[in-house]
Amino acid sequence: MKILLVDDQPLLLMGFRLILEGEDDFEIVGEAANGVEALSQVAGLEPDVVLMDVRMPVMDGLEATRRIVASGAASKVIILTTFDLDEYAFEGLQAGASAFLLKNVAPEELVQAVRLVASGDAVVAPRVTQRLLERFVRIQPTREPSDGAEAGLTAREVEVVRALAEGLSNAEIATKFFLSEATVKTHVRRILTKLDLRDRVQVVVWAYESGVVVPGAE
């Protein structure tokens, strides 16, 4: 698995490299200190996963992420941020990032996140998912609660969408609803197709924006 590290802080780059190079199937193919360098290296190295800082000189991580996604590159982007309520984290997800993680993430969580994103099962740090999204939604125009019917979702699919918004993995969703993981994956694929979205993180964003998930609701 080819990984590109993008951050303007050398010590953080070193730390992430040490953690990820400890995995036999991971290869750090390059490092970049700003968004412009990241775009060049994505084009030349074709990494599977890009760990992308937000605040960098020359070009920030948000713009770099937008351009990577717009280019049609297969590389998946994981946004890294220092603060769990960072407004830029949500913008990163809207820009097309496949995941959002805090820079102080535990080594094993970082490794797991890279594997999940590379496999297509994008993640949002579970302990900050709802706070991040609810904070964003509160500054948006008020939306009426929705049952997802107008989007063509079944009742079960709406339950899966809400579980994704809780930050649950496929295995956790399977346990919650007494389903097999294969069935959960099938539901997720159908949801992505019906909503015409790229990955499960985009589903979570849609859930809050559409009213399927309402901040503060039980």
> Domain end: 123, 156, 185, which one?
123
Instruction: Give the structural domain span for 205.
Output: 142-210
Q: Are residues 91 and 183 in the same domain?
A: no
Q: Are residues 10 and 96 in the same domain?
A: yes
Residue 122 has pLDDT above 80, yes or no: no
Q: Name the percent of the chain lying above pLDDT 70.
A: 83
Q: Are residues 109 and 147 in the same domain?
A: no
**What is the average per-residue pLDDT within 169-198?**
90
Number of domain units in the chain: 2
Can you give the CATH number for the domain in which 174 is found? Answer: 1.10.10.10
Q: Are residues 146 and 119 in the same domain?
A: no
Instruction: Grade residue 29 by pLDDT with cuts at 50, 70 and 90.
Output: very high
**How far is it, in rounded angstroms, from Cα 84 to Cα 19?**
21
Q: Are residues 8 and 109 in the same domain?
A: yes
Q: Are 49 and 3 in contact (CB under 8 A)?
A: yes
Residue 57 lies in a domain: yes
pLDDT of residue 118: 84
Q: Are residues 107 and 147 in the same domain?
A: no
Return all residues near 67 (Cβ < 8 A) that are at least 6 apart.
35, 39
pLDDT of residue 5: 94
Q: Are residues 111 and 153 in the same domain?
A: no
Cα–Cα distances in angstroms (integers) from residue 69 to residues 62, 72, 75, 77, 93, in the given order: 11, 6, 8, 9, 11
Q: Are residues 119 and 206 in the same domain?
A: no
Least confident of 35-39, 114-118, 121-125, 207-211: 121-125
Q: Are residues 27 and 104 in the same domain?
A: yes
Which amino acid is residue 103, in one-letter code? K
Residue 64 has pLDDT above 90, yes or no: yes
Can you give the CATH number for the domain in which 55 is found? Answer: 3.40.50.2300
Residue whose pair of structure tokens reads 């079960």 in the numeric block: 156
pLDDT digits (tens, 9 = 90+) for 81-90: 876 655 666 7
Instruction: For residue 203, give the H/E element and its range.
Output: helix 200-210
**How far is it, in rounded angstroms, from Cα 29 to Cα 102?**
22
